[in-house]
Chain A
Amino acid sequence: MMRFLFTNLVLSIFLLSCEKTFTYNANEIQIEEKDRDQNTKNLERLRSKPQNGSFNFIVISDTQRFYEELDDFVEKVNSYPNISFVVVNGDITDFGLRSEYLWISQRLQKLSFPFFVVIGNHDMLGNGRELYKQMYGPENFGFSFSGHKFIVLNSNSQEVGHNGSLPDTTWLQQELSATPSQQKIFIISHIAPFSGDFDRSLEQTYARILTNNGNVIHSIHGHEGISYSGQPYGPPVNYLVVNSIKERSFVLIKVDTNDTEVEKVLF
């Protein structure tokens, strides 16, 4: 009988030594300094890298509740030479909870390369949107690398009831016009404009902005649980949908001054 007490006491002492000893509410959002503003911190890491023409980057998506697949991905990709950065294209969590944000963060921080996290619809649940802001920074941001521009934005229209605020096409247009004309552009967001979960009233606006710009070469998405590559709105913009990491695959994009090559790698 007393052994129950003993076992429980041993468990509690063990627990007191754990990182997550006390949980006050499943929806809590307290974040330590080391886990804050990770996109900004990674941008600084990226800026210290040599920028000489051609480079490679990797896109994964929908890591949701697939921790084993993510662990294997990190191990596999760390053995790759010449990767400039990794993009995690949204839905890093399933329930938008702090515990999940922390589990994913611990794993991504093991990557040997800078990484950027895009906000997905699941990541906005509950207090998820606030957690994302604290842990990764602004949900719409852009950066330049080796003569190319990367624009990341929140396109999870359904989470705001398709009220016209997501994606922020005004911001996108401003960001595009501020981009030097010699830079080729990649747009990255979780939900593709042709997805059923994208704001119907913004689909054509989004596609038109990209097509008319002339420098946008790829619009990269996730969310669908399939792989896709095509030009549904005509040339020159290629729309790419990256499958969930559940499938044990990632997309390797090799960027040259004249060309980009998209390769799907299974692991």
Chain B
Amino acid sequence: MILKLKRYFFSSSSAMLLFFLLVITGKISAQKKGFKIKPPDHIKVQYAGGIGFISIGAGYSTKNQKLEGDLSYGYLPKSVGGIRIHSMSGKVTWIPIHPVRVKKYQVEPLMTGLVVNYSFGKQYFSFDPPYYPYRYYSFPTAIHSALFLGSRIGYNFPTHTFVRRLSLYYEILSFDREIISLVSNPKSLQVADVVTLSLGIKINID
């Protein structure tokens, strides 16, 4: 019975996580007639970067374009990853430097942020399953986060088109548990051991 409740808790906790990600990335704006979700202002399609072989997501940017948040679904086929993994990710990107504009092109030289990935599957846990002593493992195997930095180059379409801007980006990421490993083994592990790359397309829409 307790085990069943726990299982229910785990599945509901993942649903809650998704909802939480939706709330922080989406602006659920209150209007007179009730709640209405504003459509996202951009879509991202990404290759690798720890959030799937291919991931597709959408999100919002702040008015000053300095901060953006995305929620994405990622798929990793067995033929690539050795095992099939469905996952959801939340990403927060900070763009500290103003874009450099040359004609219709624009370069965002630096973006940095945090990505949190949740893998679906009964072999992963967010909290220690009940058969472990209290706080036996202090890390969730279902959730992995990574810090990243990257750049973006975009092309601005003429106004009044659905696609406002199309950008190509890359990110250099490092996962939490790999950073911990590097920090405790500075002589044996190198930065090259703990970094990985992502490539993606960002589409700004109206």
- Residues of A that sit less than 8 Å from B by CB: 1-2, 4-5, 8-9, 11-12, 14-16, 18, 20-31, 65-68, 70-71, 94-97, 99-100, 103, 125-127, 130, 134, 158, 161-162, 196
- Residues of B that sit less than 8 Å from A by CB: 47-53, 74, 76, 80-83, 85, 87, 97, 100, 107, 109-110, 117, 119, 121, 123-124, 129, 131-133, 136-137, 139, 141, 144, 149-151, 170, 172-173, 175, 177-178, 180-181, 184-185, 187-189, 192-198
A146 nearest CB across to chain B (Å): 34
When distances are taken between beta carbons in the complex, the residues of chain A under 8 Å from B137 are 125
B113 nearest CB across to chain A (Å): 14
- Rank and list the top 3 A-B pairs by shortest CB-CB distance, nearest first: A161-B131, A29-B82, A67-B188
When distances are taken between beta carbons in the complex, the residues of chain B under 8 Å from A4 are 97, 109-110, 151
When distances are taken between beta carbons in the complex, the residues of chain B under 8 Å from A8 are 109-110, 149-151, 170, 172
Q: Please pick, from B53, B131, B192, the residue contacting A24 in the complex, using a CB distance under 8 A.
A: B53
Output the residue of B47, B48, B123, B129 with the most chain A CB within 10 A.
Answer: B123
Asked if residues B177 and A94 are in contact (CB atoms below 8 Å), the reply is yes
Asked if residues B151 and A24 are in contact (CB atoms below 8 Å), the reply is no
Asked if residues B185 and A67 are in contact (CB atoms below 8 Å), the reply is yes
Asked if residues B132 and A125 are in contact (CB atoms below 8 Å), the reply is no
Closest to B136 in A: A158
Taken together as a complex, chains A and B put the C-alpha atoms of A187 and B110 apart, in Å, by: 56
Closest to B77 in A: A24
Asked if residues B151 and A15 are in contact (CB atoms below 8 Å), the reply is no
Q: Given that A26-B50, A31-B82 are known contacts, is A67 also in contact with B189, CB under 8 Å in the complex?
A: yes
When distances are taken between beta carbons in the complex, the residues of chain B under 8 Å from A134 are 82
When distances are taken between beta carbons in the complex, the residues of chain B under 8 Å from A68 are 185, 187-188
